[in-house]
């Protein structure tokens, strides 16, 4: 008989820095190391815990009582540190405070409410794709499509004025960097953060939003008493923060997937209903949002180790989405699989409230491309844009061969 002490599981530790530029540039080897180390790993660089296996990440995301968001979903612990901006009423809040803003935004962005956008977005995608292809069939798909399409449809749908829209991507980029440590990526954004935050805050005011659109809908919810009148600006801010860079990188991911998997592109061209599966499979495969943190609200035991109350845990969504314990051939982008259940949109009460918008954007863009483009190929190695949270792209040089007719 061994003593209980000899049997007690030890907490595996890693000395790798998840936010090191080398890891951000190529996260897959690090993610495998973490998954194989154990269900919970101590990350010495930051004195925090991490989870990289699907089952544990999924379980933690659906247990908001034990793993709170209200102390921040980045490295910074709001119990001890002042947040760099007023906390999001959605992302960085727990029940009961979370519930009214969430209910309002869920309704504003529901499949039913956004049906009215569908025909216009389909036509916008056709117009953009025709414009781009008329200019030449070799181009950088990041600015030309992945950035251009969300920027064309989403700010209009919010009801944002034209002026200053070029601030949206830099503001999002900085916010997603700011969930990580204060490394060189955050330092590089510090110079503009005041100016960008001021512009965003101004756009969230009622008089600066169109009379119709998501912004107006959020303000109308305050008039109805569903939320208080001081809440709309910060809920609109969530749209402006989380609504652009995420979809840009999701679209870049699916375009990259097709450029590198020509046989999968043929399948979509033959059956356009696969466009929706394709986007979700790309979100699983690339996980545009790679990580989010939680904070333990009590001593939580997982796989025999205890995460003490108040400690930060980083959830490696991208690692969970490629966990071979959950997925067959996880590294393959394959439209035959059912990607549902991936944690690329999170899971549980905070699961991406804008996912129907993202899916509609991708469906519009892929549909326009599928009828016009026979094949997509890379003409040079794609380049990554490094961000502490996002799996992002600097450039995706492609050639598109036009379909006959
Ligand atoms: C927010 C917010 C910001 C960044 C990401 C996000 C992916 C939400 O302000 O609510 O969700």
Q: What is the pLDDT of residues 13-71, one digit of tens each?
A: 999 999 999 999 999 999 999 999 999 999 999 999 999 999 999 999 999 999 999 99
- Does the pLDDT at position 4 exceed 60? no
- Is the confidence at residue 326, as pLDDT, over 70? yes
**Which residue's CA is the closest to the ligand 1 atom numbered 1?**
238
Q: Residue 70 and residue 97: Cα distance in Å, rounded?
A: 10
pLDDT digits (tens, 9 = 90+) for 342-367: 999 999 999 999 999 999 999 999 99
How is the beta sheet containing 138-140 ordered, strand by strand? Answer: 138-140, 397-402, 373-378
Please give the number of the atom of ligand 1 that sits closest to the Cα of 237: 9
What is the CATH class of 13-402? mainly alpha
Identify the band that residue 303 occupies on the pLDDT scale cut at 50, 70 and 90.
confident
Q: Domain-by-domain residue ranges, the chain? A: 13-402
Higher pLDDT, 197 or 405: 197
Is residue 3 pLDDT above 60, yes or no? no
What per-residue string of b and e applies to 383-400 under the rule 16 or more CB within 10 Å gives b?
Answer: eebbbbbbbbbebbbbeb
Per-residue model confidence (pLDDT) at position 7: 62
Q: Give the H or E element holding residue 188.
A: helix 184-203
Tell me the average pLDDT of the chain: 97
Query: Model confidence at 9, in pLDDT bands (50, 70, 90)?
Result: confident
State which of 72, 73, 91 you would mutate to test the pocket of ligand 1, scoring each by most atoms of that ligand within 8 A of its C-beta.
91
Does pTM surpass 0.85?
A: yes
Strand partners, 401: 375
Alpha-carbon span 325 to 322, nearest angstrom: 9
Does the pLDDT at position 95 exceed 60? yes
Q: Where are the beta strands (DSSP E) in 182-299?
A: 291-296
State what percent of residues in the chain have pLDDT above 70.
98
Q: From atom 11 of ligand 1, which residue's Cα is the shortest distance away? A: 242
Q: Which atom of ligand 1 approaches the CA of 176 most closely?
A: 4
From the CA of 140, how far away is ligand 1's center (Å)?
27
pLDDT band for position 1 (cuts 50, 70, 90): very low
Please count the CA atoms within 13 angstroms of the CA of 391 that sit on its side-chain side.
28
Instruction: Report residues whose beta carbon is within 6 angstroms of any ligand 1 atom.
Output: 88, 90-91, 175, 237-238, 241-242, 289
Contacts of 332-338 with C-beta under 8 Å, sequence gap 24+, read 333/257, 333/260, 333/261, 333/264, 333/281, 333/282, 333/285, 334/264, 334/281, 335/264, 335/267, 335/268, 335/274, 335/277, 335/278, 335/281, 337/281, 338/277
Contact 109, 356 (CB under 8 A): yes
Residue 89 CA, closest ligand 1 atom number:
10
**CA–CA dist 388, 239 (Å, integer):** 20
């Amino acid at each position: 008989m061994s003593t209980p002490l000899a049997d007690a599981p030890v907490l595996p530790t890693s000395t790798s820095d998840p936010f090191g530029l080398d890891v951000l540039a190529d996260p897959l080897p690090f993610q495998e190391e973490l998954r194989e180390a154990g269900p919970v790993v101590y990350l010495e660089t930051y004195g925090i815990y991490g989870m990289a296996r699907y089952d544990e990440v999924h379980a933690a995301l659906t247990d908001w009582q034990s793993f709170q968001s209200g102390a921040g979903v980045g490295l910074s612990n709001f119990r001890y540190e002042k947040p760099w901006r007023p906390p999001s009423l959605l992302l960085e809040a727990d029940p009961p405070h979370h519930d009214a803003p969430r209910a309002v935004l869920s309704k504003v962005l529901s499949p039913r409410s956004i049906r009215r956008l569908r025909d216009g977005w389909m036509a916008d995608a056709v117009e953009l794709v025709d414009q781009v292809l008329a200019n030449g069939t070799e181009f950088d798909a990041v600015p030309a499509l992945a950035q251009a399409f969300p920027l064309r449809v989403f700010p209009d749908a919010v009801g944002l004025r034209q002026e200053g829209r070029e601030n949206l991507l830099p503001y999002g980029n900085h916010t997603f960097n700011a969930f990580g440590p204060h490394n060189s990526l955050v330092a590089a954004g510090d110079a503009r953060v005041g100016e960008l935050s001021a512009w965003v805050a101004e756009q969230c005011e009622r008089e600066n939003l169109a009379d119709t659109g998501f912004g107006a809908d959020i303000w109308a919810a305050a008039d109805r008493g569903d939320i208080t009148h001081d809440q709309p600006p910060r809920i609109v801010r969530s749209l402006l923060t989380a609504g652009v860079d995420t979809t840009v990188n999701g679209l870049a991911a699916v375009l990259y997937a097709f450029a590198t998997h020509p046989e999968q592109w043929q399948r979509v061209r033959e059956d356009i209903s696969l466009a929706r599966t394709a986007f979700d499979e790309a979100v699983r495969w690339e996980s545009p949002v790679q990580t989010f943190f939680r904070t333990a609200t009590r001593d939580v035991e997982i796989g025999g180790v205890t995460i003490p109350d108040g400690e930060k845990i980083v959830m490696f969504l991208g690692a969970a989405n490629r966990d071979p314990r959950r997925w067959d051939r996880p590294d393959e982008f394959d439209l035959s699989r059912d990607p549902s259940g991936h944690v690329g949109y999170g899971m549980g009460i905070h699961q991406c409230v804008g996912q129907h918008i993202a899916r509609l954007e991708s469906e519009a863009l892929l549909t326009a491309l599928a009828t016009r483009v026979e094949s997509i190929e890379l003409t040079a190695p794609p380049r990554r844009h490094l961000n502490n949270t996002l799996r992002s792209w600097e450039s995706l040089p492609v050639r598109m061969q036009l379909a006959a007719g």
